[in-house]
Amino acid sequence: MMSETVFSNARIVLPDQVVEGSLVVRAGRIAGIDAGVSRQGEDLGGDYLIPGLVELHTDHLENHYRPRPGVFWDPQAALHAHDVQIAGSGITTVFDAVRIGSDIDLPDMLAHARQLVDAVRTGREGSWLRAEHFIHLRCELPSHDVVAHFDALADDPSTRLASVMDHTPGQRQFRSLDAYRSFYARQMGGTAEEAQAYLDARLAEHERYSASNRQAIVSRARRMGIALASHDDATLAHVEEAEANGVAIAEFPTTLEAASAANAAGLAILMGAPNVVRGKSHSGNISATDLVAAGLLDILSSDYVPFALLQAAFVLPSRVPGLDLPRALATVTANPARAGGFDDRGEIAPGKRADLVRVSADGPLPAVRGVWREGRRVS
């Protein structure tokens, strides 16, 4: 006998509508959806039943591993804490962003990155993780050793995505050097002279390494079948470069020009859910909500606040006229699943994985009241 679970009295969010009824899970897959009242199964009391969220870019594992400057936590314990928070936020598939490429602050980045990748592999093999975890390599192009780091980690079975990024002052996210100096002062402290010295060093690294490192990593990723993402595209030239590189995902475009060009090129546009929740970018760039309204956003990422993913999806219909809940939820379920190379999850439909989240919307925020991965309750 195959195991069977029935959820009744639920508002089930399908790809194109919300239906009230029951859902049957059998052997970890969605076996049936029935409208109307059912007396069988677990009564969800009218709560929403939505697909498990799919997260393509979160820095939170690194935050748990390095909770303070100079403090490095046990990587397995960091992963455990991160996993609990991820699942508790309704995320059932997560790409953990791991930065590669050493810099002045962390000259031995490979040792740290390897510990995190190894921790994810151990967690996946041990079957104790609540969510399903994969690795997203964040490749800092101005770093002298980023290609060597990519070679060391890209063939891990959990690595499915690589983003090519350049946080050099005057580039992309920080096109204004004054804005970068202000950001540096808030984040790092120090004198104006120290900030200028740091800025000069970053500019020199960019000139020496960025272009050749981009070419090397793009070539390797395409040969290995690892999906590519660009990062902080700001101009038409940036998007054209991404398109030529075979990039599939445009992460955090900073301008309307770049987002429009990425959309026209067929790239999936990813923006931060915290941008939606806050109503603006923390760097002063384009608003994610404005991109949704313009039809230029495909995917939301929690980035640095895991719960922001669910919160943003539920708040968007109230901010964007004509946007309904199914389409808003697609930015955190079906669309990232597709961009991540999955066809077995991201929506509630017969045959799909039973990655499900029970959500109550009765309070000021959507509340996660249960999470199931392949039909097994994990939170």
* pLDDT tens-digit series, residues 120-161: 999 999 989 999 999 999 999 999 999 999 999 999 999 999
What's the CA gap between 334 and 346, in Å, rounded? 4
Asked if residue 27 belongs to a domain, the reply is no
Q: What's the mean per-residue pLDDT of the chain?
A: 92
| Of 68-72, 190-194, 309-313, 362-366, minimum mean pLDDT range | 190-194
What's the CA gap between 231 and 139, in Å, rounded? 10
Q: Which of 34-43, 234-243, 273-282 has the highest mean pLDDT?
A: 234-243
Q: Domain count for the chain, please give it.
A: 1
Asked if residue 270 belongs to a domain, the reply is yes
Q: pLDDT: is 300 or 2 the higher one?
A: 300
Asked if residue 75 belongs to a domain, the reply is yes
* The one-letter amino acid at 204: A
Asked if residue 96 belongs to a domain, the reply is yes
| CA angle centred on 241, ends 235 and 242, rounded to 5° | 95
Domain with 289, as residue range(s), is: 52-346
What's the CA gap between 344 and 346, in Å, rounded? 7
Chain length of the chain = 379
pLDDT at position 173: 57
What's the CA gap between 214 and 195, in Å, rounded? 26
pLDDT at position 204: 81
Mean pLDDT computed over 18-37: 94
Q: pLDDT: is 239 or 180 the higher one?
A: 239
**Residue 268, both tokens:** 């999936």
Percent of the chain's residues with pLDDT above 70: 93
Asked if residue 315 belongs to a domain, the reply is yes
259: pLDDT strictly greater than 60: yes
Tell me how far the alpha carbon of residue 62 is from its chain's centroid: 13
- The strand pairing partners of 161, in sequence order, are 136, 227
Asked if residue 379 belongs to a domain, the reply is no
Q: Which among 373, 377, 375, 378 has a CA at the least distance from the CA of 27? A: 375
Mean pLDDT computed over 205-209: 87
pLDDT at position 265: 98
Asked if residue 357 belongs to a domain, the reply is no
pLDDT at position 40: 84
**CATH number for the domain including 162?**
3.20.20.140
Asked if residue 47 belongs to a domain, the reply is no
Alpha helices in the chain (DSSP H): 60-65, 75-88, 109-126, 146-153, 177-188, 192-224, 236-244, 256-264, 273-278, 288-293, 308-319, 325-330, 334-339
Query: If you write DSSP's letter for every residue of 55-124 in order, what string do you get?
Result: EEEE-HHHHHHSSBTTB---HHHHHHHHHHHHHHTTEEEEEEEEEES--SS-TTHHHHHHHHHHHHHHHH
* The one-letter amino acid at 56: L
pLDDT at position 284: 66
pTM of the model: 0.92
Quote the radius of gyration of the chain (alpha carbons, Å).
Answer: 21
193: pLDDT strictly greater than 80: no
